Amino acid sequence: MKKKTIRILAVAVAAALLFGGVYLLTKDDIAQKKAEGDLAPFMPSVIMQDALAYAPTESVTTTTGTSTSETTSEEGTTSSTTSETVPSVQENVLSPEICEELKEQAQELQETYPDAIGWIYVPDTNINYPIMQGEDNDFYLTHGTDGRSLKCGCIELDYRCENRFQNNFNILYGHNMKNGSMFANVCRFKEKAYYDSHLYGWVYTSDAVYRLDFFSVAVTDWHDEIYNGFRSLDEWTPHLKEISRIYEDVELTEQDRLVLLSTCSYEFKNARTVLTGRLVEMEGDMNA
C-alpha cells in the first residue's frame, strides 16, 4: 500500500512539473495574445487595411547608362541606354473619410492608453501595433500598453522625440520576437525581393495620417551615430547610405521627416537592423 501511494505521489509530482514547465514556456505567448486581443478595437478594420494595402499602380520609365540598345550620333559615336519601368507610389491614395476614421481611432486609443501616440501598420507584415512613448526608452520594452509586465513589450518612440513626428529623425524601437511579432519582420527587409514588395507603411496619429515610404535598410550596432537625432540631414544621410544594405537615392530636404524602425539582429554582437522611411502626409481633411 505504501509503495502504491509513493508511485501515485511520484506521478502527481511529475505531472505537476510537466504542466508547470508547459505553463512557463507558454505564459508569455498567452499574455501577448491577450494584450493583442485588448487592442483589437483599435486596429485598422479589414476595410481600412484594404485601403492601406494598395499596390503602387503608377509606373515611371527611367533611363540608365547600362547597355541594352545602341544609337549612333551624327559624329559616329555610339551611346547606350536602358529603359527600365519601375513602380511609383501615388502621392495621395486615401479618401478623406478613411483619413478621418484613422485619426478618430488614434484618438480613442490615446484616451484609453494615455502614453499611446499613434499606430504603425505595414501591409502584408505582422507590424500592426500602437506606438507608445514613455519617460525613457526602457519601460515599454518590457511592458504592455496597460503598464503591465509583458515580455514582448510595445513599439515605442524614442522619448527624446516630439510625439507628433515633427522631428527630422523619429526612432521607433521594437523587439525581434521569435514568434514573428513586433519588429521581427523588419529583419526580412534585408532580402531585396521582400523589400521590393513592401515599399511603404503607414503611421497615423489623432492629428494626421502619413504614408511611410521606405528607402533604406541598414545594419549597424546599438550605439551607432545613426541614433543621434540632433544632426542635420546633410551630415546624417551619407552615413546612413554607407551602412545600408539597401539604399534608394531620394532627394531629402531639411523639411523632411524620417522614421527609423530599429530592432535587434544577429550579424554580430549588439547588431541592429534599421528600416528607414520618409513620411508623406495624406491630405485627408474633409474641411480643407
- The answer for residues whose C-beta is within 8 angstroms of residue 283's C-beta and 6 or more apart is 92
Write down the architecture of domain 40-53+90-281 according to CATH.
Beta Barrel (2.40)
pLDDT at 28: 82
pLDDT at 8: 60
> What value does the mean pLDDT of the chain take?
83
Per-residue pLDDT of 258-279, as tens digits, reads 999 999 999 999 999 999 999 9
Alpha helices in the chain (DSSP H): 2-39, 46-52, 96-112, 192-196, 233-243
Banded pLDDT at 29 (limits 50, 70, 90):
confident
pLDDT at 27: 72
Per-residue pLDDT of 175-229, as tens digits, reads 999 999 999 999 999 999 999 999 999 999 999 999 999 999 999 999 999 998 8
Q: What is the pTM of this model?
A: 0.79
CA distance linking residue 210 with residue 93, whole number of Å: 11
Q: Residue 180 corresponds to which cell in the numbers above?
A: 514573428
pLDDT at 91: 58
CA distance linking residue 39 with residue 224, whole number of Å: 33
| pLDDT over 70 at 89, yes or no | no
pLDDT at 47: 86
**Most confident residue range from 7-11, 12-16, 37-41, 53-57:** 37-41
- 140 has which bridge partners? none
If we measure between CA atoms, which residue out of 260, 270, 64, 67 comes closest to residue 170?
260
pLDDT at 4: 62
Where in the chain are the domains? 40-53+90-281, 58-87
Higher-pLDDT residue of 150, 25: 150
Q: Which amino acid is at 86?
A: V
Q: Which of 2-16, 158-172, 229-243 has the weakest average pLDDT? A: 2-16
Tell me the mean pLDDT in the region 155-178.
95
Banded pLDDT at 136 (limits 50, 70, 90):
very high
